Amino acid sequence: MVSENPFAVFHSECEKTLADALKKLFPKIQITNLALEKPPTSEFGQLASSLCFELAKQVAEKPFALAKRLVESMDKKQFHLIEYIVPAGAGYINFHLDFGKFSALTIESVKEFDTDYGFVKVEKPLKIIVEHTSVNPLHPIHIGQARNPVLGDTIARLLSARGHSVYRHYYIDDVGRQTSVVAFGYDKLGKPKPDTKPDHFIGPIYTITSCLIEIDRLKKELKRAKTVQAEEEIIKINRELDEWVAISAELESKYPQLFGQLLDKISEDEDPENAVNKLNKAYEEGETKAKNLVREVGTLCFEGFRQTLNRIGVSYDSWDWESDFVLGGHVAEVMQKLKKSPYVFMQNRVWEFNAEEVAQKLNLKAKLGLKEDYKIPSLTLARSDGTTLYTTRDIAYTLWKFQKAQKVVNVIGMEQALAQLQLKIALYALGFAEYADNLIHFAYNLVSLPGYRMSSRRGRYITFDEVMDEAVKRAYDEVSKRSPQLSNEEKQKIADFVGIGAVRYALAEVDPAKPVVFTWDRVLNFETNSAPYIQYTHARACSILRKAAKKPEKPSYETLKEKVEHEIVLSLASFPDAFAEATEYLKPSMIADFANALSDKFNTFYNALPVIKAESQELSDARLALVDVVRIVLRNALNLIGIVAPEKM
């Protein structure tokens, strides 16, 4: 007998046993929810029911007396995975496993399902788009942005393993002032060919161009303010100007040649700020020259992004240019529909969307988890020059995505929570309630490096590439210490998957609502709660199996009597439930926690009990079988996070 979910088999047996006893003693009483919970310790069994506390109110008996009567009425001849049941505490019913039979079921199930074990399929598969990363094509992906592709890719892996048809989309945010700034600078330089990784080449061009334009704008503002003697404004502008001048000095020191070239070229333009605005408007209107220029810069940058993301095992099914939705008329169509609704108004020459009014009229606040006294800010749809804003364009993009999928998951930082809320409310206002109900904002917190303050406008950031390079280097040093006998080629191969895995795990294992504090001591810890630790545990299991040099022939699972062995079996059996919960609630960190906890149990087992040299052949074979299925489940869990499960380290 095998099962895709061994613990669910035990749960069902307990539930049926309890239901039969209840029907026998109290045939007229209907209790629909026979909830069973895992007790705090194994001393109280593996499942427990608090049914008698509710039942006592209906039959006027004490809970413990009821528990005793129910247990005595149970048909023990029907027990299979249940070893015994006892009344406990003030009225609980505790169910204890027959570990011999349960170990056999669990171990044989893991072996049978192998690469598919744990991945319980959903009854009704959906087409789901997971949109993630979507870093603007301005500079390299930095460590502060790297959590997005790791979380997005892990979510896609979870949903796919659950049986859904998953499509990974990257939204190329190529419309807006920032992309016009970098295109302006790139054009001023004569559209040079990259002499380094493309995104690393583009980054300084954006930072320096943005800085020089801002200084020029502030100088003009200062001149105007002095003309009208606006003292407070003069003080404010001077403060901003001083800051930007300091930034320019920092950038000139870092990129002297490029800074000088851009300064000379941009100084030739009487009004670079206006030139950028014109380029931005021309691009949104689809002028050929503007489109070719901005697309050229964007394509260059994205070639660099692809290299970075491929290195960490992240790929996409579709790269969606934001400008296509503007030039294709999708955004204009959305604007027209919104303007016809009673929720859009003109204020200070710009179009505003009254999200608060929509929420009130459609009674959305409770549904959206908002307090009734919270006033939702209005959403600016378009500027006075007619160009649209990001969220307006995102409405059109979202409608397009729902033409291709039944559910959409947007992996976007929690700082965009308001914009994502306004987007959802706009869908309700347009009559797309079903789309809004199936639009999920997967929000996550920031990544920080102690002692280092990142600033994109200063060009001060640590790129994702640099982090991966450093992780691999540190992993190489650690592998060299632990395994000096390996060749340099073997050390490098191990260092690559250990370093990359360490970074992925560090960005995925923290609950999304919490910030990630990125420290090397934690990321590359071989002793606990890290990818190297779990990878090393998997390699250790493989090593035991290699040394045994044979497959278990006659495993007697009844011989697995040690507490840690039972804990491992329970952990293996609970993997399908952990996977299903992590997927349904979109909690990648649960898989990381599971893999780490299983590794802890296995290493305790390894340090305490002999496997190959166990007291009997039957016990040795049973422990070898246990080692083998731990290997399988660790590998499956690591695969969900996109981490290599190595056979040697």
Quick check: helix, strand or coil at residue 349? coil
d(CA 354, CA 429): 10
Residue 186 has pLDDT above 80, yes or no: yes
| Per-residue confidence (pLDDT) for residue 361, from 0 to 100 | 96
Q: Residue 321 — very low, low, confident or very high, per pLDDT cuts 50/70/90?
A: very high
The 3-state secondary structure of 547-564, one letter per residue: HHCCCCCCCCHHHCCCHH
- List pLDDT tens digits, range 613-622: 999 999 999 9
| Per-residue confidence (pLDDT) for residue 511, from 0 to 100 | 95
| Per-residue confidence (pLDDT) for residue 444, from 0 to 100 | 96
What is the mean pLDDT of the segment spanning 562-587? Answer: 98
Q: Where would I find the H helices in 44-85?
A: 51-59, 63-73
Domain with CATH 3.30.1360.70 in the chain: 6-97
Residue 475 has pLDDT above 80, yes or no: yes
d(CA 444, CA 435): 22
| Per-residue confidence (pLDDT) for residue 460, from 0 to 100 | 77
d(CA 648, CA 632): 15
Q: Residue 457 — very low, low, confident or very high, per pLDDT cuts 50/70/90?
A: low
The CATH H-level superfamily of 464-640 is Isoleucyl-tRNA Synthetase; Domain 1 (1.10.730.10)
Q: What is the mean pLDDT of the chain?
A: 94
d(CA 302, CA 318): 13
Query: Any residues with CB less than 8 A from the CB of 490 and at least 6 apart, and which?
Result: none
Chosen CATH of 6-97 out of 3.40.50.11540, 1.10.1780.10, 3.30.70.1060, 3.30.1360.70: 3.30.1360.70
* Long-range contacts formed by 491-497: CB under 8 A, 24+ apart: 494/646, 494/648, 494/649, 496/472, 497/535, 497/643, 497/644, 497/646
The 3-state secondary structure of 616-639, one letter per residue: CHHHHHHHHHHHHHHHHHHHHHHH
Chosen CATH of 127-173+321-448 out of 3.40.50.970, 3.40.50.720, 3.90.1010.10, 3.40.50.620: 3.40.50.620
| CB of 439 closer than 8 Å to CB of 129 | no
Is pTM beyond 0.85 here?
yes
Amino acid at 53: F
Domain with CATH 3.40.50.620 in the chain: 127-173+321-448
Question: Got the DSSP string for 285-311?
Answer: TT-HHHHHHHHHHHHHHHHHHHHHHHH
| CB of 92 closer than 8 Å to CB of 52 | yes
- List pLDDT tens digits, range 16-41: 999 999 999 999 888 778 889 999 99
| Per-residue confidence (pLDDT) for residue 195, from 0 to 100 | 92
Query: Any residues with CB less than 8 A from the CB of 489 and at least 6 apart, and which?
Result: none
d(CA 642, CA 166): 16
Percent of the chain with pLDDT over 90: 87
Percent of the chain with pLDDT over 70: 99
- List pLDDT tens digits, range 391-425: 999 999 999 999 999 999 999 999 999 999 999 99
| CB of 121 closer than 8 Å to CB of 159 | no
- List pLDDT tens digits, range 243-265: 999 999 999 999 999 999 999 99
| Per-residue confidence (pLDDT) for residue 439, from 0 to 100 | 98
Residue 319 has pLDDT above 70, yes or no: yes
- Say how many C-beta atoms besides its own lie within 10 A of residue 349's C-beta: 9
**CB-facing half-sphere around the CA of 276: CA atoms within 13 A:** 24
What is the mean pLDDT of the segment spanning 575-600? Answer: 97
| CB of 452 closer than 8 Å to CB of 462 | yes
- List pLDDT tens digits, range 190-236: 999 999 999 999 999 999 999 999 999 999 999 998 988 888 999 99
Task: Return the DSSP state at 245.
Answer: H
CA distances from 494 to 4, 523, 646 (A): 33, 16, 8
d(CA 160, CA 154): 10
Domain with CATH 1.10.730.10 in the chain: 464-640
d(CA 66, CA 60): 10
d(CA 623, CA 571): 15
Letter string b/e over residues 395-418, b meaning 16 or more CB atoms within 10 A of that residue's CB? bbbbbebbeebbbbbbbbbeebee
